[in-house]
Structure formats: structure tokens, C-alpha cells
Structure 1
Amino acid sequence: IKKHHGITRAVVGGALTGGTGAVVGAVTGGKQFSVVNKLAIQIFFKNNKDYQELFINKKMKTDSSQYKKIQEDFNRLSSKLDMIISTNSTADIKSPSSSNNPDDLIKFKSLLDQGMITQEEFEAKKKEILGL
């Protein structure tokens, strides 16, 4: 946000202290700063439900100490959620499959091709899915 107060400050400075005040008022009038209007984390679940953790819902200057504290809390929660997602993704791959759906084999082959699981893990899942 850029605020222009130069003309107003020049008029007031000139009225109070003359020409010098007008010059000083005009020079010191412009201000520029960044703001955030909203900061939130929104989580979408498999059952089509979602949850939003709202941190900021109004204009807040990004150089304020309050914003910096909120941003630290936001980053801390984001990191924890990343760890949870990573842990759950790994657990889903290693847990036994409750279905013997051949489409699951395609999914696991894709994970193998991406290097997310080993050949041994793929072979074990393949045997499980095919009932071998």
C-alpha cells in the first residue's frame, strides 16, 4: 500500500512554519508498506469435508511484531502438517491392502516408477493383490 500525504503535509507545514515547513511536509509525506489481508491453512479430507485454521482475517502490516508472531505460528503448523502427511503416506504404502483390486496394482507400479517404493515392496504388494 502506498499512501500519498505529501500535499496535505505541505499545506499544513507551510501554514504552521512557512516555506521550510511546506518543503519538509511534502518530502516526508509518502509512505509505502506491505499488508496481508488473510492468512489461513485449509485442509481437505477424503470424505469431502474441510477444515480451515484462520490466522489473519484483516489488514495487517507485514513488518509488525504481531504479524511476525502469527507467521511463526503459521509456519510451525505447516511444518507439522507436512510431517503428518509424509508419515501417513508412507504408512499407507506399507500397510496391508484390504482390497484385492487390480487397479491398486497400477497405483503401486506408478509408485515404483517414481522411486517412492522399492522393487521388493512392489513385489510384495503384487503378490498380495493377486492372491499369490
Structure 2
Amino acid sequence: MPKTTFMGSLSSPKVEVLVDTGNPLLNHTLDGFLKIGTVAVAKVAAEETYHMVKRGSVSKHSLQNSLEKMCKEGAYWGTIAGVYVGMEYGVERVRGTRDWKNAMIGGALTGALVSAVGNNKGDKIIMDAITGGAVATAAEFISYLT
């Protein structure tokens, strides 16, 4: 029986935005904010477009609400990403090495910080730190596979 195989590859487009603040930490933080904030804005734009098409109507009020949601989500997720990227870069500089542990520590610090800013206390902050560290470490391991 003949055997067939398919071989190919997928690659994602690279988008580089260079903003030089003169400080590498700020450059990394701003880069993370812009990239992930843009993804969040695009996500909300797609969701809002879907809801408008489903309703079958577009109004000035719904467009204004959509724009507000896009800005809010973009700023929120961009800020979280900026904090994470800045933390990871800072940990890398302190440790003097680039490995998955920086992602884990940066994710844990970011999770704890975001949780504390959200008025959480004690165990919730610890659980959010664990989650942040786990997600960042998993993302780092996945990036090693590609």
C-alpha cells in the first residue's frame, strides 16, 4: 500500500517596532506593552464586530462603546505584558543568564504584583504568583520547541 506524507512549515510574521528610550529595561517594557496591547485591541475589535453583525445594526453609541472597550483592554493587557517583560529582563540582568528560570521568576513577580494591585490578600496573591510563574514557564518551554 502506498504511503504519502505531507511536509511543510508555518511561520508567523515578525513585526518589529523600535522605540529607543535610551534604557534597555524601558525599551523591553514598552515593546511588550505595544505588542500585547495591540493584540488585545485586535481581539476586542473582532469580538465587537461579531456582536454588531449578529445584532444587524451599528450605531454611534455601539461604536463608541467598542472603542472604549478596545482602549481599556489594550491598556490593561499591554500593562501586564510590559510589567512581565520588564520583570523578566530585570531578573535576567540580575542573574546574569538567560534561561527559563527568568520567565518563571518574572511571571511569579508579575502575578503577585497584579494580584496585590487588585486588592487581593494573602493566599490569593500567592496563588496568582504561582499561576503567573507557571504560565510564563510554559510559554517559555513552548517557545523552545519552535
* TM-score normalised by length of structure 1: 0.31
| Structure richer in helix, relative to its length | 2
Q: Which has the higher contact order (CA 8 A, sep 6+)?
A: 2
Report the TM-score, using the length of structure 2 for normalisation: 0.28
Relative to total residues, which structure has the larger strand share, 1 or 2?
1
